[in-house]
Amino acid sequence: MNSLRIFSFFAGSGLLDLGFELAGYTIDLVNEYSPAFIRAYKYSREKMGLEKPRHGYSNIDINEYLGQRADELRNQILISRGGGGLIGFIGGPPCPDFSVAGKQRGRNGDNGKLSLSYVNLIIEQKPDFFLFENVKGLWRTAKHRAFYDELKAKLEGAGYLTTDRLTNALEFGAPQDRDRILLFGISSKTAGNEKKPSEDFPWTKYITYDLSDIKKRQWPSSEPFVENSGKECPDGLPEELTVEYWFRKNDVDNHPNSVNCFVPRAGRVRMTSVDEGDDSKKSYKRLHRWRYSPTVAYGNNEVHLHPYRARRLTVAEALSLQSLPKEFELPGDMSLTDMFKTIGNGVPFLLANGIAKTISDYLNGGADNAENHSL
């Protein structure tokens, strides 16, 4: 079996990386521009007892690897190759310029340009495989789709075989309705004549829920907010996809980040005026305890309220909705703005872990690379 070594870019606080690492990969380099996020990455790893990346933490703009630090990265990759195995790049360039809720600057926005930088880095440094992750707006919005197709064509022109899929976190058991476009590529040299990812990549192998079935279920609608009320999960629903299930699973009230919570200026009146399950507005969405959450996003004044308490979500609760292990925590002295931003930017752990296992099986010729049609 090939050892799989990861160079991570736009790593945030490590949610995507953790999914790969706990699937058996080794993280060799972590690149993240935000000092606050990379400090949180180090902190969470120490708390979970994970080893320091071989080449450490790189707190620089990715474009430096396309310029004066290109040889440094190239040498690090050579060192990592020395032990055998395959080298992979993973990353999700910042997405506000493609997000439906963003400013729609697209390829010309400061964040949009980073997608091209990531693709150029892959082409120049030639990893054996890569994962590119981004919001569905890059794939579904016509003006952004043209840019996405150009990026994909550049990679294919440089000798990568690719496959992509619009994937929802619910499919992997994370309790939130979150779509992401995932693009996987493998160099033609690594693939040889046997692998054709556009035909044989097993995207659904680790999917545990059929999205159309989930959406058809009769989930609870909104109902009057009653503080500290108790309700049992309705029969016939997959409880493990609900907000309350994950709050209990991660013991959020006793988590180290349970004390980290914004106190809104609007005060208690605003906190009690929204029905449980009313997530119809952009801001002041109240989650329903026995339903999955809307996309975990806390920027642009998006306020998510606790189902049955008169307050916003705590950091511990937000982490649970990203399906993270309860041992994962952020430093208590991190600003609340940075805490919620890094959580919202991250890839849900169960989605990351499922895709990581899929890639590993594919690269190592797993015994069962067939699509799972028994959903």
Using one digit for the tens of pLDDT, what is the confidence trace for 186-231?
999 999 988 899 999 999 999 999 999 999 999 999 999 999 999 9
Task: In the chain, list all ranges with CATH 3.40.50.150.
Answer: 4-208+349-363
3-state secondary structure of 305: strand
Strands 304-305 and 285-286: parallel
pLDDT reading at 160 higher than 60: yes
- For the domain with range 214-345, which CATH number is right: 3.90.120, 3.90.320, 3.30.1240, 1.25.40? 3.90.120
Q: What are 30's strand-pairing partners?
A: 8, 57
Among the ranges given (22-36, 100-114, 261-275), the one the predictor scored with the smallest mean pLDDT: 100-114
pLDDT score recorded for residue 301:
78
CA-to-CA distance for 33 and 341, rounded, in angstroms? 14
What average pLDDT does range 63-71 have in this prediction? 96
What are the catalytic residues? 95
pLDDT digits (tens, 9 = 90+) for 11-30: 999 999 999 999 999 999 99
Task: In the chain, list all ranges with CATH 3.90.120.
Answer: 214-345
CA-to-CA distance for 135 and 104, rounded, in angstroms? 12
pLDDT > 90: percent of the chain: 79
* Topology annotation, domain 4-208+349-363: Rossmann fold (3.40.50)
pTM for the model stands at: 0.93
The DSSP secondary structure of 181-233, one letter per residue, reads: EEEEEEEHHHHTTT--HHHH--TTTT--S-HHHHHHS-----B---TT---PP
